[in-house]
Chains A and B, each alone.
Chain A
Amino acid sequence: MKASVIVFPGSNCDRDVQVALEKFQIPTTMVWHQETSLPKCDLIVLPGGFSYGDYLRCGSMASKSKVVNEVIKFANNGGYVFGICNGFQILTETGLLPGALLRNYKLKFICKDIFIKTTNNKTPFTNKITEKKILTIPIAHNEGNYFASNEEVNDLKENNQIVFQYCDLKGNVSEQSNPNGSILNIAGIINKKKNVLGMMPHPERVIDQILGGTDGQEIFKSLLQ
């Protein structure tokens, strides 16, 4: 397994993801957004941050950058693409994932630990997550309110594409455990082919006890399969 992390102007979780990947012995190359080709790799990570200052719409400008054309081809050829936070927003803007991320329902930037449950642990990104285990992972976003049309939401359900949902400590998915107003408490989704995952929480921030938690490890371990 080799990985590339795309760096946009305004990315700020790129180095954290690199540290996380390398902790699991995944050699990682950083790729600047103006590159027109990708290094040979199996996984591309679109990191968190504020690409292009979140101008226009979060992720919209990044989704039109040169290297993202290559990322789209890579994904269409079956390569693994993992978008975290701003990376998830970019993936919806490219159309690789359905829906969009709107401003948080209460109009506030939220930076705190939340609980998520894994609704589908049969994906290449989640197969090491113990069934029913509730993960504690931080979120840090202003636009994480997942929206999709009724048709798209039905499609997500039918194809088992909802991967993570916000919940409480006991795993209840409810309005109270929904931090940002996302439809169906959606925290992460995958595409139909199950090779492109986007999620708002930051697993790379909980890969070591010294960072305050290790629940993010299971995602990186899954990728090693």
Chain B
Amino acid sequence: MKFEIFVTLKKEVLDPQGKAVEGAIKNLGLNSISNIRQGKYFTLEINEQDHSTALMHAEEACKKLLANLTIEEYQIRKLD
């Protein structure tokens, strides 16, 4: 089973990289773009038949390593 995982900084955590990217975007003249936040993207395969078991393993990976829950949040999506 394939999953994709997005890890992003929580809303209340300042994202200086996102801000710098936003500055560069503005320099391109794309003034309608704002609130850029930068994050991480993972894809992974889990060798399980049962969807909920696989999801549980993905959750555990996020909580224990892929995301730092002090500053980040995550979203897991199943890929076909």
- CB-CB under 8 A from A99, the residues of chain B are 70
- CB-CB under 8 A from B20, the residues of chain A are 107
Interface 0/1 of A66-98, CB less than 8 Å to B: 000000000000000000000000001100001
Cβ of A60 within 8 Å of any chain B Cβ, yes or no, is yes
The answer on a CB contact under 8 Å between A105 and B71 is no
The answer on a CB contact under 8 Å between A64 and B70 is no
Question: What's the nearest-Cβ distance from chain B to residue A54, in Å?
Answer: 13
User: Count of A-B contacts with CB under 8 A?
Assistant: 36
- CB-CB under 8 A from A56, the residues of chain B are 40, 65-66
Q: Which residue of B lies closest to A104 (CB)?
A: B16
- Residues 89-134 of A at the B interface (beta carbon under 8 Å): 92-93, 98-100, 102-107
Given contacts A107-B16, A107-B17, A147-B13, contact A100 B65 (CB under 8 A): no
Determine the distance from Cα of A167 to Cα of B65 in the docked complex, in whole angstroms.
Answer: 34
Interface 0/1 of B59-75, CB less than 8 Å to A: 00000111010110000
Determine the distance from Cα of A167 to Cα of B19 in the docked complex, in whole angstroms.
Answer: 27
Q: Which residue of A lies closest to B20 (CB)?
A: A107
- CB-CB under 8 A from B65, the residues of chain A are 56, 60-61, 64
- CB-CB under 8 A from A148, the residues of chain B are 70
- CB-CB under 8 A from A92, the residues of chain B are 70
Determine the distance from Cα of A98 to Cα of B66 in the docked complex, in whole angstroms.
Answer: 18
Partner of A57, one of B13, B16, B64, B68: B68
Question: What's the nearest-Cβ distance from chain B to residue A218, in Å?
Answer: 31
The answer on a CB contact under 8 Å between A100 and B16 is no
Determine the distance from Cα of A179 to Cα of B28 in the docked complex, in whole angstroms.
Answer: 30
The answer on a CB contact under 8 Å between B66 and A106 is no
Determine the distance from Cα of A199 to Cα of B48 in the docked complex, in whole angstroms.
Answer: 42
Q: Which residue of A lies closest to B70 (CB)?
A: A100
- Residues 27-80 of B at the A interface (beta carbon under 8 Å): 40, 64-66, 68, 70-71
Q: Which residue of B lies closest to A105 (CB)?
A: B16
Please give 14 more A-B residue pairs, beta carbons under 8 A apart, in addition to A100-B70, A107-B20, A181-B16.
Answer: A56-B65, A60-B68, A64-B64, A64-B65, A93-B68, A100-B71, A102-B13, A103-B17, A104-B16, A105-B14, A107-B16, A147-B13, A149-B70, A152-B70
User: Top 9 A-B pairs ranked by shortest CB distance?
Assistant: A100-B70, A100-B71, A107-B16, A100-B68, A57-B68, A105-B16, A103-B16, A107-B20, A147-B71
Can you report 23 A-B residue pairs in the complex whose CB atoms are below 8 A from each other? A56-B65, A56-B66, A57-B68, A61-B65, A64-B64, A64-B65, A92-B70, A93-B68, A98-B70, A100-B68, A100-B70, A100-B71, A102-B14, A102-B71, A103-B17, A104-B16, A105-B14, A106-B16, A147-B13, A147-B70, A147-B71, A149-B70, A152-B70
